[in-house]
Amino acid sequence: MKNLVLLPILATLAISGASHAATRDMESLDRGVVAVKVANGVFVGWRVLGTDPADMAFNVYRGTTKVNASPISGATNLVDAAGTASSTYSVRPVVDGAEQAVGGEASVWASQTLKIALNRPTGGTLESIAYTYTPSDIAVGDLDGDGKWDLVVKWDPSNAKDNSQAGLTGNVYLDAYTLQGKNLWRIDLGVNIRAGAHYTQMLVGDYDSDGKAEIACKTAPGTKDGSNAFLSKGPASSDDDSKAYRNAEGRINAGPEYLTIFNGQTGKEMSTVAYVPRRHPSAPDNATGAQLKAIWGDDYGGRFDRFLATNAYLDGKKPSMVFQDGYYTRMALAAWDWDGKNLSQRWLFDTYTGDAKLKGQGNHNLSAGDVDGDGFDEIIEGASAIDHDGKAMYATGLGHGDAIHMGDLDPDNPGMEVWEVHEDTAVSYGHELHDAKTGKILWGQNYASDNGRGMAADIDAASAGHEMWSAAGAGIYSSKGK
């Protein structure tokens, strides 16, 4: 059975908040040219790259005919009135007045969406209930080194569960597709990875700077790579792939946990190591319920089976992988590097063994960015932040939240800011804007309820910076809190 993913037109701006962004290894992408038939001709759009000089300009060609009278700057799109459905377009960068090689080509789309047929996994039956599959999270990266983004699609079964819910789930699958619809591979995470929003956080990035992206995620005994082979490296070389570690409630609170990095082009396992952070520092695979409750606050997986992940330029040069477990109580993160042969752990941050002031100061999500201007990315946890070297920066003390937006939201405040909503009704702010570097609260309001969602976006040109609002329903605020 096929499923269609619809991709809207967008011009991608690959940027970094770092002052030293030009030194960072980035994907060698083409211009992502898209041409679409519109009523008055053909719309042509393309992307700016984070490595482009500030004075970059462009020439656009229809076949061999240059469309623009002079190099285009300050925009990455045009409408060619003479374009037709059979036209082809190319974009060429212009640097210091000299035209460069072709940066991307495109034929004309008939509509503003690109339809890609997906290979839907076959469903099944568990606990006498049939389940089917739906595409869930999608990550992008150049898996085959052709300068074009590819898609990594996570398939979730219809019986996926939240941590608070008991019940068995179907397996989780990861698929890779080109934008032309070619299915490159499928990874089956197996029976020992539970399906749900909090369990599988996949990362895609070119971690060894070889021009091709890799995929990394949490795995377990029973995981099969893109060649349909069970994992066989590191601790997976001697495990029992036939054993199911889930309990009668369908939760997986015991058994080995791995981190695996897969080849982006083939999906094959390249390296597998023990997953860090572990459920329990001294009894990672077989901790008792009492041991887990003492660390996490529960013994059933509501808190210790919540995972997050992000890419971050921790050395200012190459992307690292950061994998996290927990945020309600214990919060632990491990940073990993891949050199093409080995996974090496850069650092481990753990509120259980130190930095207790960050305990419970996490989110359902996290962001990475250079908030202190040193050229290295920090990890922003909502109510707290961790420096690029794995050391605590600050904690606001306002506790757990569901939503976070980070960027230069207030242009008058130096650096970046964090817009955060909070669940804890006992704290003094239901939503607030704070300085991303110091944690200083710039403004906020209190609401005596669980404020579960919030948003920041520049939606009003008459108001400087971004505007902010939250599920508290108290209106839309300027960057100054007005």
Angle at 176 between CA 263 and CA 171, to 5 degrees: 95
Instruction: Tell me what pLDDT residue 3 has.
Output: 52
Q: List, in sequence order, every beta strand (DSSP E) within 250-370.
A: 258-263, 269-274, 307-312, 320-325, 332-338, 343-350, 367-369
Structure tokens given for 54 = 């500030």
Alpha helices in 322-478 (DSSP H): none
Burial 348-358 (b: 16+ CB within 10 A, else e): bbbbbeebeeb
Instruction: Tell me what pLDDT residue 104 has.
Output: 87
Q: What is the per-residue pLDDT across 249-280, written as a single tens digit (0 to 9) for each?
A: 999 999 999 999 999 999 999 999 999 999 99
Q: What is the per-residue pLDDT across 123-159, written as a single tens digit (0 to 9) for each?
A: 999 999 999 999 999 999 999 999 999 999 999 999 9
Question: Average per-residue pLDDT in the chain?
Answer: 93
Answer for the pair 92, 102: CB distance below 8 angstroms, yes or no: yes
Closest by CA position to 300, among listed 312, 315, 287: 287
Note the pTM of the prediction, 2 decimals.
0.93
Q: What is the per-residue pLDDT across 321-355, written as a single tens digit (0 to 9) for each?
A: 999 999 999 999 999 999 999 999 999 999 999 88
Q: Is the pLDDT of residue 115 over 60?
A: yes
Structure tokens given for 273 = 């190591």
Q: Which residues pair with 258 in a beta bridge?
A: 219, 274
Q: What is the DSSP letter of 171?
A: P
Q: What is the per-residue pLDDT across 272-319, written as a single tens digit (0 to 9) for each?
A: 999 999 999 888 898 999 999 999 999 999 999 999 999 999 999 999
Q: What is the per-residue pLDDT across 157-167, written as a single tens digit (0 to 9) for each?
A: 999 999 999 99
- CA separation for the pair 335, 390 (Å, rounded): 8
If phi over 0 gives left and psi between -120 and 50 gives alpha, with beta otherwise, what is residue 170?
Answer: beta
- CA separation for the pair 42, 24 (Å, rounded): 35
* Confidence band of 19 (pLDDT split at 50, 70, 90): very low
Determine whether 86 is exposed, middle or buried from the number of CB atoms within 10 Å of its CB (0-12, 13-18, 19+).
exposed
Closest by CA position to 332, among listed 361, 312, 311: 361
Strands 343-350 and 332-338: antiparallel
Which amino acid, residue 449? S
Q: Is the pLDDT of residue 448 over 90?
A: no
C-alpha dist (Å) from residue 112 to 6, 42, 44: 9, 11, 11
Instruction: Tell me what pLDDT residue 324 has.
Output: 97
Which amino acid, residue 253? N
Q: Is the pLDDT of residue 61 over 70?
A: yes
* Confidence band of 452 (pLDDT split at 50, 70, 90): confident
* Confidence band of 47 (pLDDT split at 50, 70, 90): very high
Q: Is the pLDDT of residue 413 over 90?
A: yes
Instruction: Tell me what pLDDT residue 14 has.
Output: 37
- CA separation for the pair 369, 376 (Å, rounded): 8
Instruction: Tell me what pLDDT residue 51 has.
Output: 85
Task: Identify the three-state secondary structure at position 438.
Answer: coil
Q: What are phi and psi of 290, to 5 degrees?
A: -65, -40
